[in-house]
């Protein structure tokens, strides 16, 4: 597999946005410390719908599903670290940050190896 093209980068970006919005939706709905907002719900619906349309209309190149899953997890971990930094009563953001850094290194190595 070569470096992701523009279409493939869009899939990775949508996976990242889905991760951000699913964690944001979870925080908004189930955490009393995070104020309610409708925008994570809207972002989750739109990003999931766009990913589904990409899945129906385009085939994924070899090696893209693990990258998309990695970007999805990166979005989840990033939002978790940001919310925990903003609201320290939830807990420390050390573990999400360490996992996020390890995941970024894995994604960079995976992207460079697939050139």
**Any domain includes 1:** no
Q: Name the DSSP letter for residue 88.
A: T
- Domain span at residue 109? 6-113
Distance from C-alpha of 19 to C-alpha of 22, rounded to nearest angstrom: 5
**Any domain includes 90:** yes
**Any domain includes 45:** yes
The domain total for the chain is 1
46: region left, alpha or beta (phi > 0 left; psi from -120 to 50 alpha) = alpha
**Any domain includes 64:** yes
**Any domain includes 75:** yes
**Any domain includes 36:** yes
Q: List pLDDT tens digits, range 56-88.
A: 998 888 888 999 999 999 999 999 999 999 999
**Any domain includes 37:** yes
Low-confidence ranges of the chain (pLDDT < 50): none
C-alpha radius of gyration, the chain, whole number: 15
- Predicted TM-score (pTM) of this structure: 0.89
């Amino acid at each position: 597999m070569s470096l992701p093209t523009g279409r493939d980068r869009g899939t990775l970006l949508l996976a990242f946005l889905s991760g951000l919005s699913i964690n944001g939706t979870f925080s908004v709905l189930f955490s009393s410390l995070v104020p309610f907002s409708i925008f994570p719900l809207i972002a989750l619906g739109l990003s999931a719908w766009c990913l589904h349309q990409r899945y129906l209309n385009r085939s994924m190149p070899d090696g893209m599903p693990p990258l998309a899953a990695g970007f999805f997890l990166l979005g989840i971990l990033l939002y978790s670290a940001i919310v925990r930094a903003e609201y320290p009563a939830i807990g420390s953001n050390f573990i999400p940050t360490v996992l996020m850094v390890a995941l970024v290194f894995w994604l960079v190595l995976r992207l460079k190896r697939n050139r």
